Structure 1
Amino acid sequence: MLAVTAAAPAASYASAPAAGTAGTAAAATAQRDRRPATLLDAVPRRGVLRVCTTGDYRPFSYRDPATGNYRGVDIDMARDLAKSLDARPRYVRTTWAGLVGDLTSGRCDIGMGGVSITLARARSVYFSEPTRTDGKTPVVRCADQDKYRTLEQIDRPGIRVVVNPGGTNEQFARAHIKRATLTVHPDNTTIFDEIIAGRADVMMTDASETRYQAKIHPELCAVHPDQPFTFAEKGYALPRGDDQFKAYVDQWVHLATHDGTYRKYEDAWMK
């Protein structure tokens, strides 16, 4: 009985390594199966980076209505990001009101094109590291630039403020314009023509956009773009929960904003 009792553990011990090896392999396979899919793998595999962009916000993203082609600082950046992932960009047209929904529904992999980082958006999507700082400031006819330097000067009866719908510009205008006339203009690519033509007096938008519009329209002037009414940062919107893809995009942004890549693309449009 003693011999039998002693031999039983020995037999068990001898077979343990094989069982343990099989168990470890099975556990590893199960872990791989449970691992969430990440765009860091999916984008190179499909060879396409789907980029949600409005195409109405120069200098960051502009869709040429004649050709359907996209241009801008963040379009150049999208090509750079796609190339780093062995892919090509495919642009998915969106709106400011629909951007977050298009990203969370899986229509695209990333939102690019002068997207402001906000807490409201961050409840639904991740954001990359910031690409630049910005803030809301007025753009007006140059002859009127001394008339509209403060919110108090702008928010007066008889002043005509124009704004594009669905984004942070409209949110800011509705929060601060109570007495002036506020008009929502549906097309952000033609909204500045309203000021030039005298149908509106002021638009408040990101300082970067006011500088660009003043560059291409000599009739317009950016009002104190170095001291905007607000502080904001721009970045790229990403699907919430895909930590691996976010980590990659963060590192790519970090390198691009420190090795001259982002500055090169921005200077090509802003200078």
Structure 2
Amino acid sequence: MKKWLKIGFVLLTVLAFAVVVAGCGGGEKTGETTGEGEQQATTETQNLVFGSDTSYAPFESYDANGKLEGFDVDLIDAINEVSGLNIEMKTYDFKGLIPALETATIDGAISAMTITEERKQKVDFTVPYYKSGLATAVKADNQDIQGYDDLDGKKIGVQTGTTGELEASKVPNAEVVSFDTIDGAFMDLTNGAVDAVVNDFPVTAYYIAQGNDQVKIVGDLQTSEYYGIAIPKQKPEVLEKVNAALETLKENGKYAEIYKKWFSVDPPAELPGEPQN
């Protein structure tokens, strides 16, 4: 009798352990529950971390209450809604994003990053989600600099690691001063420490629109550029999911809604649609 009691106790212990293990599976799951409590159509949410230079309004910046906001921020929220991904944005210096992507320290980067041939050698890009170009900004009372072609021999402020820095380095006899954030470049422009700032047009225009009317944009845009979300080459499955989400958002109108919220105009009729790898 004692023998059978001992066997029964062992069996109950094993069954209890199996139930505990089954309840401790990793990953967040979503699905529908039937009346009998059985879960159907279960899918696992993929948690990802995307780096971003969060001092680049109107694409990403912190508001007065310390909340992250911007076009890129809203776009990531929308991607999360339609993709089954759970992407969290974390602050990185812009110059540190490509190295972090190369080592797959982060799962992606969304930071108003221009798709370039050099960057494509190191990371993959999604389909473009924004068309931009480089603008030249000077103090509002500056009459000598009428555009990019007048920067010869001038002191130019740029953000480190950007296409603005690359383009400014081509100006003959210019002294290029690089800053970790674009805010530093604008600050030196307003106090006269640099003669001009070469930077992405929407960011410069937004800076001026926030009441910084001591700065103006001069001349035409120097380049035509496309922004993409950068993904480590080691993570093609993430690239595929984000591309599919972007396509869905363009089709269902959510992308246009976010674009108009931040730029007060409709997005271009079409952007290049092929993956930029």
Corresponding letter in the other structure for 2:118: A
Q: Give the RMSD, CA atoms, in angstroms.
A: 2.4
Cα distance in 1 between the residues matched to 2:236 and 2:181: 35
Is the Cα contact below 8 Å between 1:92 and 1:108 reproduced in 2? no
Residue 99 of structure 2 is aligned with which of 91, 96, 101? 101
2:216 paired with 1:218: no
Contact 1:138–1:148 (Cα < 8 Å) also in 2: no
Give the Cα separation in 1 of the matches to 2:241 and 2:45. Answer: 17
Query: Closer, same or farther in 2 for the Cα pair 1:148/1:263, shift >3 Å?
Result: farther
Gaps of 5+ in 2: 1-42, 265-277
Per-residue deviation, residues 96-139 of structure 1 (Å, max 9, x unmatched)? 22111212322222210201101111011111111121121201
Tell me if the contact between 2:135 and 2:198 (Cα under 8 Å) persists in the aligned partners: yes
The residue aligned with 1:120 is: 118
Partner of 2:53: 54
The percent of aligned pairs where both chains have the same amino acid is 19
* 1:152 partner letter: D
Compare 187-196 and 203-212 and name the one that shifted more: 187-196
Deviation at 1:270, TM superposition (A): 2.9
Q: Which whole-Å deviations, capped at 9, do the CAs of 1:196-255 have from their partners, x for residues lacking one?
A: 22222210111121221221122222234xx41112111100121544432332232233
Asked if the contact 1:60–1:72 (Cα under 8 Å) also holds between the matched residues in 2, the reply is: yes
Equivalent residue of 1:230, what SS?
Answer: coil
Equivalence map 1:186-265=2 (5 Å): 186-216=180-210, 217-224=212-219, 227-265=220-258
Find the residue that maps to 1:117 and give its secondary structure: coil
After superposition, the Cα gap between the structure-2 partners of 1:250 and 1:88, relative to the gap in structure 1 and judged at 3 Å, is: closer
Structure 1: gaps (5+ residues):
1-43
Distance 2:130 2:88 in 1: 24
Counterpart code for 2:135: T
Aligned counterpart in structure 1 of residue 178 of structure 2, from 184, 189, 199 = 184
Which has the larger helix fraction? 1
By how many angstroms is 1:47 displaced? 4.6
Aligned residue number for residue 173 of structure 1 = 168
Q: 3-state DSSP class of the match of 2:197?
A: strand
For the 8 Å contact 2:147–2:218, the answer to whether it is kept is no
Structure 2 length normalisation: TM-score?
0.71
Q: Retained in 2: the 8 A contact 1:49–1:82?
A: no
| SS of equivalent to 1:116 | coil
1:110 pairs, out of 104, 108, 111, with 108
Kept in 2: contact 1:94–1:102 (CA 8 A):
no
8 Å CA contact retained: 1:51, 1:90 = yes
Determine whether 1:147 maps to 2:139: no
Distance 1:251 1:89, change over 3 A: closer
SS of equivalent to 2:204: helix
For 1:108, the aligned partner's letter is I
SS at match of 2:144: coil
| SS of aligned partner of 2:111 | strand
**C-alpha separation in 2, matches of 1:165 and 1:66:** 27
Once the two structures are TM-superposed, the CA of residue 70 in structure 1 deviates from its matched residue by 2.0
Contact 2:80–2:87 under 8 Å retained in 1: yes
1:45 and 2:38 are equivalent in the alignment: no
Query: May I ask how many residue pairs the two structures share in their alignment?
Result: 221
- Report the Cα distance in structure 1 between the residues aligned to 2:81 and 2:251, rounded to whole angstroms: 18
> C-alpha displacement at 1:64, in angstroms?
5.4
Tell me what 1:163 maps to: 158
Q: Which secondary structure does the structure 2 equivalent of 1:214 belong to? A: helix
